[in-house]
């Protein structure tokens, strides 16, 4: 599943390609995504301009004219393809070979734009979704209402962290992946953050030392900024707006390194893989306490 850096790169890519475009019509090829795509979406969006594209946590937020807000979540395999006026196809999401026949099988929603361009939402496993809201009713969007601060925001600080975890008995990995506590982090980056912070994923949060909390906050910001700069990462090879493959996965210190030597130069231990809440979890028993 794409996490904050990957969705941020998609947002930036889409802003370059479709901001201020007019939606001419919408073709729904498959209504059955995670939530059923509204049949009237085409009538509601036809003739309207895409005024802004934002990101909140792992959600993409499109402001359409002064009428609607379109909320998109990419799920596990959701991605956008852009086709320009010369019918050239661009990747803005995961890295896949551009194969029209193969891709067409999983095209779910097509937005026809002015100047003979198209934006295609493609989703193999159909865990993503597209929802439309009236702009004056956006305060009722449940997907956004309960999100915690983002790791790159100033609100994600020691005081907030310390107050939130007081007397809680949950482990640190689970709480970092709880979008109500901090929004945008997922399994890959949490593994990386905890390794660099020297904290074992199974540690109970109320037992964390102040210095460990400070390290978690520090490395959250460093890792996410680094990943965004490098174009995002994913096991499926993320692709940024210019078609370059995301390369942050080449810098993984712990994720996916089961039985390999620990990345720390002075450690000879091997990386251990376990499961926490049914999610693959990697750690070094010497370097993470």
Catalytic residue status for 58: yes
Exactly one of 15, 44, 236, 279 is catalytic; name it: 279
Q: In the annotation, is 63 catalytic?
A: no
Q: Is 5 a catalytic residue?
A: no
CB-CB contact of 130 with 43 (8 Å): no
Q: Is the domain of 187 the same as that of 278?
A: yes
pLDDT at 3 over 90: no
Number of domains in the chain: 2
Q: Is 3 a catalytic residue?
A: yes
Same domain, 128 and 221: no
The structure tokens listed for 138 are 């956006």
The catalytic position among 2, 5, 151, 201 is 2
Out of 61-70, 91-100, 242-251, least confident range: 242-251
pTM: 0.88
Q: Percentage of the chain with pLDDT > 90?
A: 78
* One domain, residues 222 and 97: no
Identify whether the C-beta of residue 271 lies closer than 8 Å to the C-beta of residue 262. yes
Give the pLDDT of residue 17: 94
pLDDT tier for residue 250 given thresholds of 50, 70 and 90: low
Side-by-side strand order, sheet with 107-113: 89-91, 78-83, 117-123, 107-113, 22-28, 48-56, 59-64, 68-73, 129-134
Residue with tokens 């949490």: 190
What is the model's pLDDT at position 229?
A: 81
Note whether residue 269 is domain-resident. yes
- Mean pLDDT over 112-126 rounds to 96
Tell me the residue range of the domain where 224 lies. 158-283
Same domain, 202 and 266: yes
Could you report the per-residue pLDDT of 214-243, keeping only the tens digit for each? Answer: 999 999 999 999 888 877 555 444 444 444
Catalytic choice (3, 192, 212, 241): 3
Mean pLDDT computed over 30-36: 96
Res 31 pLDDT > 90: yes
Q: Which of 118, 145, 172 is where one domain is finished?
A: 145
Among residues 97, 113, 145, the one where a domain terminates is 145
Mean pLDDT of the chain: 90
Of the residues 11, 17, 24, 58, only one is catalytic, namely 58
pLDDT of residue 235: 43
């Amino acid at each position: 599943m794409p996490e904050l850096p990957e969705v941020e790169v998609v947002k930036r890519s889409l802003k370059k390609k479709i901001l201020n475009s007019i939606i001419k019509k919408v073709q729904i090829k498959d209504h059955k995504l995670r939530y059923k795509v509204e049949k009237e979406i085409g009538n509601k969006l036809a003739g309207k301009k895409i005024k802004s594209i934002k990101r909140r946590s792992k959600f993409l937020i499109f402001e359409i004219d002064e009428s609607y807000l379109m909320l998109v979540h990419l799920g596990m395999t959701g991605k956008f393809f852009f086709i320009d006026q010369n019918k050239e196809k661009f990747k803005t999401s995961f890295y896949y070979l551009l194969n029209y026949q193969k891709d067409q099988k999983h095209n779910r929603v097509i937005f026809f734009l002015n100047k003979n361009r198209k934006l295609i939402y493609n989703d193999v496993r159909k865990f993503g979704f597209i929802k439309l809201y009236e702009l004056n009713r956006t305060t009722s969007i449940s997907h956004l209402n309960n999100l915690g601060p983002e790791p790159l925001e100033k609100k994600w600080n020691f005081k907030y962290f310390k107050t939130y975890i007081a007397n809680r008995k949950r482990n640190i990995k689970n709480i970092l992946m709880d979008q109500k506590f901090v929004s945008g982090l997922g399994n890959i980056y949490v593994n990386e953050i905890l390794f660099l912070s020297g904290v074992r994923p199974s540690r109970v949060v109320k037992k964390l030392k102040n210095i460990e909390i400070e390290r978690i906050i520090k490395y959250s910001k460093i890792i996410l900024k680094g990943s965004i700069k490098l174009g995002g990462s994913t096991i499926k090879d993320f692709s940024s707006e210019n078609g370059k493959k995301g390369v942050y996965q080449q810098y993984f210190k712990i994720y996916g390194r089961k039985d390999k030597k620990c990345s720390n130069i002075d450690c000879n231990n091997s990386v251990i893989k376990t499961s926490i809440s049914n999610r693959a979890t990697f750690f070094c028993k010497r370097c993470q306490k």
